[in-house]
Chain A
Amino acid sequence: MLEQLNLHLEDIPLHILNMIILFVILRQLLYKPVRKFMAERKARLDASLTEAEEAQQQAERLRTEYENRIAAAEETARERAVEITAAANEAAKSMKDSALEESAALLRKAREAAAQEHSKALANVQGDVVDISVAIAQQILRREVCHEDALKLTESYFAALAQGEKD
């Protein structure tokens, strides 16, 4: 059977030795360099991964810091907006109060002026009434008073004078 397959038992050690030598040679020339290459490659990859992780962590830290700064700035802006709004409201209230006071003062002055004008007008009218009344009386007296009346007036005058001297 072995002869049919063209196999010779005395060649087997040779073949085995051949295999061993081949294995050793391949190990030295191929396996070790490839293994070294793979190890170096793995080391490079690990270094890159580590660097990438560090970079990612750095980025994360920066992002967190950025977000904190943004939040702080927003908080500051909100507080400032509240302060400004409060100040504006206060100023508006103050202006409104001043305007109200001023308008009340103007109203008081206007009322006083109107009352004064009213009194003045009333005095003028009453003065006119007195003048007109006296003028009418004058006209009537000028027309109606006769000499006898003038004599009676004279007597009354002296009587009053005498009474005044007695008092």
Chain B
Amino acid sequence: MSHAILRSAAVLDAKQLADVETIFSTRLKQEIKFELMLDPSLVGGFVALIDGKLYDISLAAQLAELKKNLTKIKMEGN
């Protein structure tokens, strides 16, 4: 079992946490148990740290990516 930390934008109840753990366990093919931390700055989604590897599934990261792309388009347009 891997020790992992999950940062979430919203508070998760036990079932919701279990849902997330199920997805990660299925995808990574190992049993994952998360230590939950609240981080509203993520806007939505999660950031998971599992065995030193970071999985950034937060909306904040996607918004940052969107902002970067919009800025790049603007500069190329000028």
Tell me whether A and B are bound partners: yes
**Which B residues are CB-close (under 8 A) to A145?**
9, 43-45, 59
Residues of A within 8 A of B24 (CB): 154
Q: Which of A123, A127, A137, A151 contacts B66 (CB 8 A)?
A: A137
- Minimum distance in angstroms from A120 CB to a CB of chain B: 10
Q: Who on chain B is nearest to A142 by CB? A: B43
Q: Which chain A residues border B43 with CB–CB below 8 Å?
A: 138, 141-142, 145
Quick one: which of B9, B55, B70 has the most chain A CB within 10 A?
A: B70
Number of B residues with CB within 8 Å of any CB on chain A: 27
Q: In the complex, which residues of chain B have a beta carbon less than 8 angstroms from the beta carbon of A70? A: none
Interface size for A (C-beta < 8 A) is 23
Q: Is A51 an interface residue (CB 8 A)?
A: no
Is residue A72 contacting chain B, with contact meaning CB distance below 8 A? no
Tell whether A154 pairs with B71 under 8 Å between CB atoms, given A141-B43, A142-B44, A149-B44.
no
What is the predominant secondary structure among interface residues of chain B facing chain A?
helix
Asked whether any CB of chain B lies closer than 8 Å to the CB of A95, the reply is no
- Which residues from A are CB-within-8-Å of B34? none
In the complex, how many angstroms separate the beta carbon of A164 from the nearest chain B beta carbon? 13
Cα A153 to Cα B10 with chains together (Å): 14
B78 and A122 contact, CB distance less than 8 A: yes
Given contacts A141-B44, A150-B46, contact A130 B9 (CB under 8 A): no
Q: Is A83 an interface residue (CB 8 A)?
A: no
A157 within 8 A of B: yes
- Identify the B interface with A (CB < 8 A): 8-10, 12, 16, 19-20, 23-24, 27, 40, 43-46, 55, 57, 59-60, 63, 66-67, 70-71, 74-75, 78
Top 9 A-B residue pairs of the complex, sorted by shortest distance between their CB atoms? A145-B44, A158-B27, A157-B57, A130-B70, A126-B74, A134-B67, A153-B45, A154-B57, A150-B45
For the complex with contacts A142-B9, A142-B43, 17 further pairs of A-B residues with Cβ separation under 8 Å are A119-B78, A122-B78, A126-B74, A127-B74, A130-B67, A130-B70, A141-B59, A145-B45, A145-B59, A147-B12, A149-B44, A150-B8, A150-B20, A150-B44, A150-B46, A151-B19, A154-B57
